[in-house]
């Protein structure tokens, strides 16, 4: 997979405590969080990040968004993801777990039709050492290398990363 350093990232469901924590974490690592989206909360801010009611409003203000991180309730994930896809966002990371299976299937079908990359539900994000941090992973555990690491367990991922680092293989 070819990856890029995203210039414009939004967080759908930014008022969620985990979303706010991740936003602050990612901002300290240089991720460009331009806005949050939370219907009914438009016009407010979360830790200095402007909040909009709709993804479309963010794009009117800031232009094309590259990545959406989704932290909404499980039964709202499909709507949030479809809103992002309709707005032309082609990389979506769903942090919410326990999304209804039928909604997940509908999301995958929608993503396939639009060539959208979807990570999740239940994702912890993406780390490319010294380049990209999208999520709640701790990048200090990862070193550049040739091995891609995909895991559903953040803590076991750290263990595997440590082994890869010790073997001088690193991760990407």
User: Which residues does residue 49 pair with via DSSP β-bridges, in sequence order?
Assistant: 46
Largest Cα–Cα separation, the chain? 50
Q: How far apart are CA 11 and CA 7, in angstroms?
A: 14
**Stretch 102-120: mean pLDDT, rounded?**
96
pLDDT higher than 90, residue 30: no
Contacts of 60 (CB under 8 A, 6+ apart): none
Residue 135's SS3 state is: strand
The pLDDT score that the predictor gives to residue 161 is: 82
DSSP 152: S
Contact partners, residue 63, CB within 8 Å, separation at least 6: 8
What's the pLDDT band for 2 if we cut at 50, 70, 90? low
Give the mean model confidence (pLDDT) for residues 146-171: 81
Domains in the chain (CATH in brackets) are 9-126 (3.40.50.720), 138-172 (no CATH)
Percentage of residues in the chain with pLDDT exceeding 90?
65
Confidence of residue 163 (pLDDT cuts 50, 70, 90): confident
pTM for the model: 0.90
- Asked if pLDDT for residue 155 goes beyond 70, the answer is yes
Reported confidence tier of residue 4, pLDDT bands at 50, 70, 90: low
**Cα separation, 83 vs 69, whole angstroms:** 12
Nearest by Cα to 168 from 137, 132, 143: 143
């Amino acid at each position: 997979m070819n990856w890029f350093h995203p210039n414009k990232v939004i967080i759908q469901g930014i008022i969620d405590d985990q979303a706010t924590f991740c936003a602050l974490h990612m901002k300290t690592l240089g991720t460009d969080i331009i806005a949050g989206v939370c219907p009914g909360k438009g016009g407010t801010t979360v830790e200095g990040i402007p909040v909009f009611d709709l993804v479309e409003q963010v794009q009117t203000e800031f232009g094309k968004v590259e990545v959406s991180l989704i932290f909404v309730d499980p039964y709202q994930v499909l709507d949030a993801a479809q809103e992002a896809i309709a707005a032309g966002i082609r990389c979506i990371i769903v942090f919410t777990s326990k999304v209804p299976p039928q909604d997940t299937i509908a999301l995958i079908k929608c993503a396939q039709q639009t060539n959208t990359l979807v990570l999740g539900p239940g994702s912890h994000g993406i780390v490319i050492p010294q380049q990209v941090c999208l999520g709640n992973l701790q990048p200090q555990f990862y070193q550049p290398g040739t091995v891609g690491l995909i895991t559903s367990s953040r803590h076991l991922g750290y263990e595997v990363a440590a082994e890869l680092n010790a073997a001088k293989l690193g991760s990407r």
